[in-house]
Amino acid sequence: MGNSFPIVYRASQPPHPLDSCEFCMVGSAPTRNTIIDGQSATINSLRQALARTSAGAPAASRTTIIDGQSATVGSLHQALANAVEAHLHARHRAPCAPKTKLLFARMDFRGVGNDLNSAIRAFACALAQDRQVVFLPPSRESMDKYPWLKELGVSWQSPWHWLHRAGLHFDSLLVASSCQLELLTPERRHVLMALAEANDTDAETTLTRLGESTLAKVSRLWRPIWRVGLGPTVIPSAFRSQGLLWWFQALGSYLIRARGSLRQSLNSHEAMKPFRTPPAAIAEDGVRSPLVAEHFGQTTCTRSGQRSGAPCDGIGVGWHPRVWFDLGLMTSDGL
C-alpha cells in the first residue's frame, strides 16, 4: 500500500537554489520548530543544511536546530517529508468552494497496481493544474463493454470495483479530496450521479446540461493518456530538484492509506502473522535508516471537542507492516 512505501531523499545532491516556501511557514510544524542559522527554515535552507550535514560539515548540525536538538541527516529528511505532507494536505483538503477547480478522474479496472498508479497519476495532474481530484467509476461505455463491471455494482458512491466487491468504502484506501466529500453529500450527490452515468468526453457538457454552469467552468475530465509523460514541471518548484521518483513516492504515501476495516483486515490476515510479532533483529524499535521518513498522517493533536491524540490532519496514518524493509521493488508488464 502507498503508505508503506519508504520515502527516500537524495542526500548526495548538491544544494539547489529553491524557491522560498511560504506554506512551510504557515501551519507546518517542522518549520516552526526548525531554526537554521538563527532563521526559521525554508525548503531552500533545509536542503542546503541537508547537503552540508550529509557531507559531514562539522558546523552544519550545530547551526541547524530541530525541536531544540542539533539536526541530523534523519531529522532533516523528516523535516522535508513533513513539509511536502503539509503542502499536499493544504491543497487536497482545502475547503471546497464554488470556484474550486476540479479534475474528475475515472477509476481504472486493469489490476490493483495499475489502478492505483492511475489514481496517483490523476492526483499529480490535479495538483499541477491547481485542482482537486474527484474520482468517478468507469464510464457507461466501459460498463457496457465489460458486463462484469456492471455486475459488481460500481457507482458514484463506490467507484472502484476492488473495494466495492469487498464491501469497503472508497475512503478506506484512497484519501478523498474535500470536494469529493462535498459532492457525496445529499445536497450535491446529483452531480456525481450524473457524471458517473454520462458518456460525454468532457465534464463541462454534462454539468452544463445539469444546470451547474459555475462548476462547469472550473471542471475538467481527466483522460489517462499514457504516452504523454509527466515531467519535472508537474512538481512544485520548491520540491522540483528532489526529482519525479521522490515526488510520486510522496503522492502515493499521501493518497493511498489503508484505514478502518481494511486496516483491521490487513492486520489480521494470516500472511501478516510474521510481522505482528517480528523477531528481535527487525523489531519495531530497531534503528531505521535515516533516509526513510515516517509515515504520513501519524502526527496527533488534541483539539477542543476531539478525543486526545486525534490525527492532526483528520485522516490518520495508513496501515503498514511493523518492520522496515531494506529494498522495495515494483514490477509491471513491459519493464
Q: Render pLDDT for 13-57 as a digit per residue (tens, 0 to 9).
A: 333 323 333 333 223 344 446 666 566 667 776 766 766 666 555
Determine the straight-line distance between the first and last CA of the chain, rounded to whole angstroms.
20
Cβ partners under 8 Å of residue 295, min gap 6:
3, 4, 253, 317, 318, 320
pLDDT at 79: 79
pLDDT at 316: 83
- Asked if residue 235 has pLDDT above 60, the reply is yes
- Asked if residue 233 has pLDDT above 50, the reply is yes
Tell me the DSSP string of 224-279. --TTS---GGGS-TTTGGG-HHHHHHHHHHHHB---HHHHHHHHHSGGGHHHHS--
- Asked if residue 177 has pLDDT above 90, the reply is yes
- Asked if residue 326 has pLDDT above 70, the reply is no
| pTM exceeding the 0.85 threshold for the entire prediction | no
Give mean pLDDT, residues 159-177. Answer: 88
For the chain, domain boundaries:
2-92, 102-224
Cell of 43: 525548503
Share of the chain above pLDDT 70, in %: 66
pLDDT at 237: 86
- Tens digits of per-residue pLDDT, 256-304? 998 888 888 888 888 777 776 655 544 444 455 555 567 788 777 766 6
**CA atoms of 116 and 327, how far apart (whole Å):** 21
- Tens digits of per-residue pLDDT, 195-216? 988 876 788 888 999 999 999 9
Range in 85-99, 111-125, 163-177, 304-318 with the lowest mean pLDDT: 304-318
Bridge partners for 70 per DSSP: 65
Highest mean pLDDT among 105-109, 307-311, 330-334: 105-109
Q: Distances from the Cα of 290 to the Cαs of 5, 6, 75, 160, in angstroms?
A: 15, 11, 8, 36
Say if residues 328 and 305 touch (Cβ distance below 8 Å): no
Give mean pLDDT, residues 137-162. Answer: 87
Strands 64-66 and 69-70: antiparallel
C-alpha dihedral, 8 to 235 to 81 to 38, nearest 10°:
120
Give mean pLDDT, residues 64-91. Answer: 78
pLDDT at 15: 31
Q: What angle do CA 215, 220, 226 make, to 5 degrees?
A: 165
Q: What angle do CA 99, 20, 232 make, to 5 degrees?
A: 70
Residue among 235, 237, 230, 229 at smallest CA distance from 250: 235
Give mean pLDDT, residues 10-15. Answer: 33
Dihedral angle sign, alpha carbons of residues 299, 269, 150, 157: negative
Locus of grid cell 499514457 = 226
